[in-house]
């Protein structure tokens, strides 16, 4: 009887002894959540070019959630890492893109038409 009581108490105490990081990992595994995108990894975010501003070196893009930046879907203006990207797309093009913070500015670092 003592052994079964000990096992029951130990099972009830286990969650309280987990670290916050272990709770988060356990919750993600139980819900089948995706792991966050690591910096530098191409996340293949999807978007639509709304405007190309060659003079300013910027693109206006309606994009889905940018998981690596914890940003919800929206339309916004981005700088581009390489000015040649501005020549590859035009308004209305569907694209896959990667956006990163470069020198404090949100910048398209990788871009490909779909």
* pTM of the full structure: 0.63
Question: Does a structural domain hold residue 55?
Answer: yes
64 lies in the same domain as 22: no
- The structural domain count of the chain equals 2
26 lies in the same domain as 50: no
Instruction: Give the separation between CA 67 and CA 69, rounded to whole angstroms.
Output: 5
pLDDT at 84 over 50: yes
84 lies in the same domain as 55: yes
56 lies in the same domain as 94: yes
DSSP letter string, 70-86: TB-SEEEEEEESSTTHH
Question: Does a structural domain hold residue 101?
Answer: yes
Question: Does a structural domain hold residue 37?
Answer: no
Return mean pLDDT, the chain: 78
Cα–Cα distance list, 22 to 26, 29, 59 (Å): 6, 10, 40
Question: Does a structural domain hold residue 27?
Answer: yes
CB within 8 A of 100, min separation 6: which ones?
39, 40, 68, 69, 106, 107, 109
49 lies in the same domain as 96: yes
Question: Does a structural domain hold residue 38?
Answer: no
Tens digits of per-residue pLDDT, 14-69? 555 555 544 444 544 444 444 443 444 455 799 999 999 999 999 999 999 999 99
109 lies in the same domain as 61: yes
For residues 40 and 80, the model is more confident at: 80
53 lies in the same domain as 107: yes
pLDDT at 88 over 80: yes
Would you give the end-to-end CA distance of the chain in angstroms? 65
Q: What is the pLDDT of residue 44?
A: 73
Q: What is the domain range of residue 24?
A: 2-31
Question: Does a structural domain hold residue 82?
Answer: yes
């Amino acid at each position: 009887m003592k052994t079964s009581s000990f096992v029951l108490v130990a099972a009830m105490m286990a969650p309280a002894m987990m670290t916050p990081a272990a709770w988060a990992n356990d919750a993600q595994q139980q819900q089948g959540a995706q792991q966050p995108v690591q910096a530098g990894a191409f996340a293949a975010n999807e978007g639509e070019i709304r405007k190309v501003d060659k003079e300013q070196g910027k693109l206006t893009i309606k994009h889905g959630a940018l998981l690596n930046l914890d940003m919800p879907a929206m339309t916004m203006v981005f700088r581009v890492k390489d000015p040649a990207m501005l020549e590859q797309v035009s308004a209305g093009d569907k694209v896959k893109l990667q956006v990163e913070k470069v020198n404090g500015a949100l910048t398209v670092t990788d871009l490909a038409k779909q």
